[in-house]
Amino acid sequence: EAQVTQNPRYLITVTGKKLTVTCSQNMNHEYMSWYRQDPGLGLRQIYYSMNVEVTDKGDVPEGYKVSRKEKRNFPLILESPSPNQTSLYFCASSFLNEKLFFGSGTQLSVL
């Protein structure tokens, strides 16, 4: 089944404790992206990747890191999480200029 798999679904952590949210797709998509969704602010792009080893900043990249060592994986790393990073996070992938497939989301709470 074609899908984007995000883990974990829920995560509660404390300020400053490094964490990684994983994202994997099985559709051979070139394009992958991370979004955060906050009430009243819609979806805002954090980082995106056009292909392996090609990543670029979205609109809200501060406090986040990504890597794209393999085509299927695009992990999101929070080196030192802060409470303002509490949010609902989505990973998505697509062929270039085509529709996005979204993961189920990760609800992150930073205490």
Partner 1 sequence: SQQGEEDPQALSIQEGENATMNCSYKTSINNLQWYRQNSGRGLVHLILIRSNEREKHSGRLRVTLDTSKKSSSLLITASRAADTASYFCATDGWEGQGAQKLVFGQGTRLTINP
Which listed residue (14, 27, 41, 52) binds partner 1 by CB under 8 A?
Answer: 41
**Count of residues in contact with partner 1, rule CB under 8 A:** 29
Rounded to the nearest whole angstrom, what is the least distance from the CB of residue 43 to partner 1 in the complex?
A: 4
Q: Is 103 in contact with 6 (CB distance < 8 Å)?
A: yes
Binding to partner 1, residues 47-106 (CB under 8 A): 48, 50, 56, 58-59, 88, 90, 92, 96-105
What does 15-76 look like in DSSP terms, one character per residue? TT--EEEEEEESS--SEEEEEEEETTTEEEEEEEEEETTEEEE-S--TT-EE--SSSSB--E
Give the position of tokens 């802060």.
82
Binding site for partner 1 (CB under 8 A): 4, 31, 33, 35, 40-45, 48, 50, 56, 58-59, 88, 90, 92, 96-105, 107
